[in-house]
Amino acid sequence: MAQPDHKKFFENLSGAGKAIAVLTSGGDAQGMNAAVRAVVRMGIYVGAKVYFIHEGYQGMVDGGDNIEEATWESVSSMLQVGGTVIGSARCKEFRTHEGRLKAARNLVQRGVTNLCVIGGDGSLTGANLFREEWSGLLEELVQQGDIDAEAAEKYYALHIVGMVGSIDNDFCGTDMTIGTDSALHRIIEVVDAIMTTAQSHQRTFVLEVMGRHCGYLALVSALACGADWVLIPEMPPEDGWEDQMCQKLSENRADNKRLNIIIVAEGAIDNNNKPITTEKIKDLVVQCLGFDTRVTILGHVQRGGTPSAFDRILASRMGVEAVLALLETTANTPACVVSLSGNQSVRLPLMECVQMTQEVQKAMDEKKFEEAVKLRGRSFENNLRTYKLLAHRKTESELPHSSFNVAVLNVGAPAAGMNAAVRSAVRVGISEGHTMFAVNDGFEGFYNGQIKEIKWGDVGGWTGQGGSLLGTKRTLPAKHIEKIAEQMRKHNINALLIIGGFEAFECLLQLCEARPSFEEFCIPLCMLPATISNNVPGTDLSIGADTALNAIVETCDRIKQSASGTKRRVFIIETMGGYCGYLASVGGLASGADAAYIYEEPFDIRDLQANVEHLTEKMKTSIQRGLVLRNENSNENYTTDFIYQLYTEEGKGVFDCRKNVLGHMQQGGAPSPFDRNFGTKISAKAMQWISKKLKETYRQGRVFANTEDSCCLLGMRRRALIFQPVMQLKDETDFVHRIPKEQWWLKLRPLMKILAKYKTSYDVSDSGQLEHVVRNRPKESDASAI
């Protein structure tokens, strides 16, 4: 696929003659190394000198060997390593004027005027102060004779770009900070393991997770595992919460639930700002209910381990964006922080974000907790709203009066997160007053009458289950439309929620097209995209794709590690995805692949030969292991076997080859935290849309909806979750190859190539522009996936 010409861009924003330094400061977070790697390689790519500053601000103050020029090879094999390999330290000396004076001298001596800081709000605030004082510091250094006037004039301005590395996700202005998703992986791994032992002994477990001032990890992990109770600093429980919590635990046990999970943020407080500890909760449960109760404090386990696929991709995108921001900055540009909004990179003024982050704590200190939640941002607010919706079971008297029947079914191949979506739909539907029906085995089960009512308790514990507990088939409804209509009449189905991949999209189109002949389908119809291939039109992301990516990345890490200590080796790995190259491309970016072959970007024998030669050259000079990914349907002639044999032959004497077909392991396993929460939240949103449509279309004792906007797909587009009429998505779809005609992730492919040392053009049309922090965004733009 021809790459756009951006030579003009690189002439204007050349890094030649510039020096960039990168440091990590404050607490470590998984993914920091991926960000460092991206900054170094993108910096070298644009012609700049790049320096590591070891041990954070302490290394900047001490100078010497702590400030070291980075090479391309010096960041090899660090993508999959947790923590930060360049070190991080809290530095009291940098807080003093004398310390910052030393730091300025050390940077000027190396010609560094571009600083990329990866850390939390304290680290970024310190960087901004350093920038504001810079010209004064240089004047002092001239007066002391440490630098000459020419150097002071040449390096007159310091440019700062920040990336937020924090597992707490406590920084305002970004939906996700680097490290948060990996920390959630650690928490959910522990919770899943604890649930099996808790179930065996009918125990209650109280888990403490990190978050001294921010309850994000506690809240999202509670959503992801379906915890019975959660306590966070931003929303202290109301007076009398102890009795309410014990009553809820008791009710759950009465429903034959054999375990209880309570998640507590380490900074959890009550209405009087007094701490709520895990021991206090344990004693409360034992005294009031007599349940066998244990406490588990996760501690620094949450900071450790290898970064998740999400964090590697996020950090790589942010690292490249940070270099672009540094090249574009002028003396008058404020220090900015690179952020994530929905699926979009944005740049925000650093101090606006810091000030809002500080306002959150101020609001909490003043007991303005609702304001604190709003200031945390739309992602946090949406998570809290969804948790409350799913955790609180309304009594009969509290339920709204509704006589609507809503059916939910899965269609197509199973995808991790489908069960979380079904659970959310059932519980939100019941809370809205509807009677919920589950259809087993997709439309095949539908026309065979495998339809039954599903209750609140029936979906307990579904969130962490992989596959499809309802059963799913690829059968399309067109051939059995009359039988399906008959079942719709029989069960008086007033709305339908379909969860699945490309087949689900085709099913919805067929039902919509059948409306003129069958009034039974003149009802609200909604689809949620759920497929590991991520090939559904109308959405950037699908439920299940993140779990599959993590499976690919973990396997690639192990495969690469298997070659450590041996001679040079290249691995050829085949991924799933049909004709969609999402898993190969994004998996390649997350695992540090040298090439990824996909259908959307045609390649020929010359491209294969160029890749082999490029890899051979790299093998001779630096790297020991190579990784090449191939999408299963990328080319009918250049098969995985062909590519393996070609690399084996052409690499003789330099490297040997191995091949792996990952197969259905990409489809299995427990869903990732991202997929659990994405499925939960978009399903809740879909059910609320269905309720709204049912009320709008209910006339003269029946539901009648035949407009295009009553048959929609709920998808994530850049920063927004949007309901899109499926009839309008037909023109955006390649039905032969079952992929959208335009796919956003293709813009990430040049990024993978740049980080693999290829000369290529990089499309900057999608790069972030400096914006301002928005306090109250409209509800429909809530695209936060986690």
Q: What is the 3-state secondary structure (H, E, C) of 169-207?
A: CCCCCCCCCECHHHHHHHHHHHHHHHHHHHHHHCCEEEE
Catalytic machinery residues: 168
Helices and strands per DSSP (H, E), number in the chain = 25, 27
Element (DSSP H or E) covering residue 229: strand 229-231
Mean of all residue pLDDT scores within the chain: 91
Q: pLDDT, tens digit, for every residue of 397-437?
A: 777 777 899 999 999 999 999 999 999 999 999 999 999 99
Residue 134 has pLDDT above 90, yes or no: yes
Q: Which amino acid is at 6?
A: H
Each residue of 248-274: b (16+ CB within 10 Å) or e?
bbeebbeeebebbbbbbbbbbbbeeee
Q: How far apart (Å, rounded) are the C-alpha atoms in residues 226 and 228?
A: 7
pLDDT for the residue 311: 97
pLDDT for the residue 769: 65
**pTM beyond 0.75, yes or no:** yes
Q: How far apart (Å, rounded) are the C-alpha atoms in residues 259 and 230?
A: 15
Q: pLDDT, tens digit, for every residue of 587-622?
A: 999 999 999 999 999 999 999 999 999 999 888 876
Q: How far apart (Å, rounded) are the C-alpha atoms in residues 497 and 439?
A: 10
Q: pLDDT, tens digit, for every residue of 11-49?
A: 445 667 799 999 999 889 999 999 999 999 999 999 999
pLDDT for the residue 768: 60
pLDDT for the residue 298: 94
Helix then strand then coil, in percent of the chain rounded to 5, is: 45, 15, 35
Each residue of 119-155: b (16+ CB within 10 Å) or e?
bbbebbbbbbebbebbeebbebbbeeebbeeebbeeb
SS in 3 state form for 411-458?
ECCCCCCHHHHHHHHHHHHHHCCCEEEEECCHHHHHHCCCEEECCHHH
Question: What does the angle CA 224 – CA 225 – CA 231 come to, to the nearest 5 degrees?
Answer: 85
pLDDT band at 762 (very low <50, low <70, confident <90, very high): low
pLDDT band at 77 (very low <50, low <70, confident <90, very high): confident
| DSSP three-state, residue 716 | strand
What percent of the chain clears pLDDT 90, i.e. is strictly above it?
80
| DSSP label at residue 165 | B
Element (DSSP H or E) covering residue 708: none
Q: How far apart (Å, rounded) are the C-alpha atoms in residues 210 and 187?
A: 10
Q: pLDDT, tens digit, for every residue of 561-584?
A: 887 766 789 999 999 999 999 999
Locus of tokens 């900015």: 336
Q: pLDDT, tens digit, for every residue of 164-181?
A: 999 999 998 888 999 999
Q: pLDDT, tens digit, for every residue of 187-234?
A: 999 999 999 888 888 899 999 999 999 999 999 999 999 999 999 999
**Which of 267, 258, 261 minimizes the C-alpha distance to 295?**
261
Locus of tokens 């390689």: 41
Neighbours of 621 (CB within 10 A): 9
Cβ pair 38, 590 in contact under 8 A: no
pLDDT for the residue 670: 95
Q: Provide the token pair at 372.
A: 């604190």
Cβ pair 654, 620 in contact under 8 A: yes
Residue 7 has pLDDT above 50, yes or no: no
pLDDT for the residue 776: 45
Highest mean pLDDT among 120-129, 164-173, 177-186: 177-186
pLDDT for the residue 618: 86
Residue 720 has pLDDT above 60, yes or no: yes
Burial bucket for residue 279 (CB in 10 Å: 0-12, 13-18, 19+): exposed
pLDDT for the residue 342: 78
